[in-house]
Chains A and B, each alone.
Chain A
């Protein structure tokens, strides 16, 4: 158990809909990262927040947005969903902004878009 929690574990929705994925980092970790992993693919970095502020952006679609709240939990919002958005979405946390230390991954949210 990494100490990072993600909800929900599974999500099934239809094209065009909007969903919110939630992540709580390990106690004391200030950085939160979001990754997308499609079937048999590597992890695609989406976005990083540090202490409430956006720190780095990857190939995140404009239909996707995220935020980190004062209590350090983070939410990833996916809108106008398409079939291709079906994937595992992981959240990770680390202590330092630069992220050169360990990233601890949550169990993931499996999103299925029908």
Chain B
């Protein structure tokens, strides 16, 4: 079957750096995405990695290691508004293309 694991909760202080890890077990892997969701809101796309390495977009970076079935989202210079849930999601291509989401990591940013 397909499974993703990410921590359920992370707490960090404003201005700090936090890393949210995601490990997956899938077949037909195409890529790893990260989404942010604020309470009561819709998920919004943050990044997508199809190849190994680091992708940087402003304060957010995402990393993928296909050989280790592992990725992470790195958030720098944390701000209070970054308090949200962060989902990793794998794109798999067996039996049609599907996006399978992890259960999400709730990030609390403290002053």
Contact = CB atoms under 8 A, between A and B. Distances in A.
B45 A98 contact: no
Closest 10 CB pairs of A and B: A56-B96, A105-B42, A43-B101, A42-B103, A102-B45, A42-B101, A105-B43, A56-B98, A42-B104, A56-B97
Interface of B: 30-31, 33, 41-45, 48, 50, 87, 89, 91, 93, 95-104
Contacts, number: 63
B80 to A, nearest CB: 22
Nearest to B99: A45
A101 B48 contact: yes
Given A48-B96, A56-B95, A56-B98, A41 B103 contact: yes
A99 B101 CA distance: 14
B101 A97 contact: no
Interface in A56-91: 56-58, 90
Given A2-B44, A105-B44, A100 B30 contact: yes
